[in-house]
Amino acid sequence: MRLTACRVFREQKSIVARMVEMPVDELTPGEVVVRAEWSGINFKDALGVTGRAPIYKRFPINAGIDVAGVVESSADARFRPGDPVLVNGMGLGETQDGGLAQVTRAPADWVVPLPDGLDLRSAMVLGTAGFTAALALHRMEVNGQAPEKGPVVVTGATGGVGSAAVSMLARRGYRVVAVSGRPEHEAYLRGLGAHEVMTPEGLGLGSRPLEAARFGGAIDNVGGSLLAALIPHVALWGNIAAIGNAAGPEFATTVYPFILRGVSLLGASSGNCPMALRAEIWTRLGGDMKPPALDQIVSRTVPLAEVIDACGTLMNRTALGRVLVDCRS
What would the 3-class secondary structure string for the chain be? CEEEEEEEEEECCEEEEEEEEEEHHHCCCCCEEEEEEEEEECHHHHHHHCCCCCCCCCCCEECCCEEEEEEEEECCCCCCCCCEEEEECCCECCCECCCCECEEEECHHHCEECCCCCCHHHHHHHHHHHHHHHHHHHHHHHCCCCHHHCCEEECCCCCHHHHHHHHHHHHCCCCEEEECCCHHHHHHHHHHCCCEEECCHHHCCCCCCCCCCCEEEEEECCEHHHHHHHHHHEEEEEEEEECCCCCECCCCCCCHHHHHCCCEEEECCCCCCCHHHHHHHHHHHCCCCCCCCHHHHEEEEEEHHHHHHHHHHHHCCCCCCEEEEECCC
Average pLDDT score over the chain: 96
End-to-end alpha carbon distance in the chain: 17
The band of 316, judged by pLDDT with boundaries at 50, 70 and 90, is confident
The per-residue pLDDT for 249 is: 87
Cβ-based neighbours of 110, under 8 Å, separated by 6 or more: 30, 87, 90, 91, 92, 96, 275
The predicted-structure confidence for 129-165, as pLDDT tens digits, reads as follows 999 999 999 999 999 999 999 999 999 999 999 999 9
**All domains of the chain, ordered by start, with CATH?**
2-114+297-326 (3.90.180.10), 128-267 (3.40.50.720)
The per-residue pLDDT for 184 is: 93
Nearest to 297 by CA among 281, 279, 319: 319
Q: How many other CB atoms are there within 10 angstroms of residue 16's CB atom?
A: 15
Cα 59 vs. chain centroid, distance in angstroms? 24
Q: How many other CB atoms are there within 10 angstroms of residue 179's CB atom?
A: 27
The predicted-structure confidence for 80-136, as pLDDT tens digits, reads as follows 999 999 999 999 999 999 999 999 999 999 999 999 999 999 999 999 999 999 999
The band of 279, judged by pLDDT with boundaries at 50, 70 and 90, is very high
Q: Is pLDDT above 80 for 167?
A: yes
The predicted-structure confidence for 64-90, as pLDDT tens digits, reads as follows 999 999 999 999 999 999 999 999 999
Residue 321 CA to residue 307 CA, distance in Å, equals: 16
Mean pLDDT, residues 42-68 taken together: 96
Nearest to 114 by CA among 68, 174, 46, 182: 68
Q: Is pLDDT above 80 for 218?
A: yes
Q: Is pLDDT above 80 for 266?
A: yes
Nearest to 244 by CA among 163, 145, 325: 163
Residue 47 CA to residue 236 CA, distance in Å, equals: 37
Q: How many other CB atoms are there within 10 angstroms of residue 202's CB atom?
A: 11
Residue 155 CA to residue 133 CA, distance in Å, equals: 12
The per-residue pLDDT for 127 is: 97
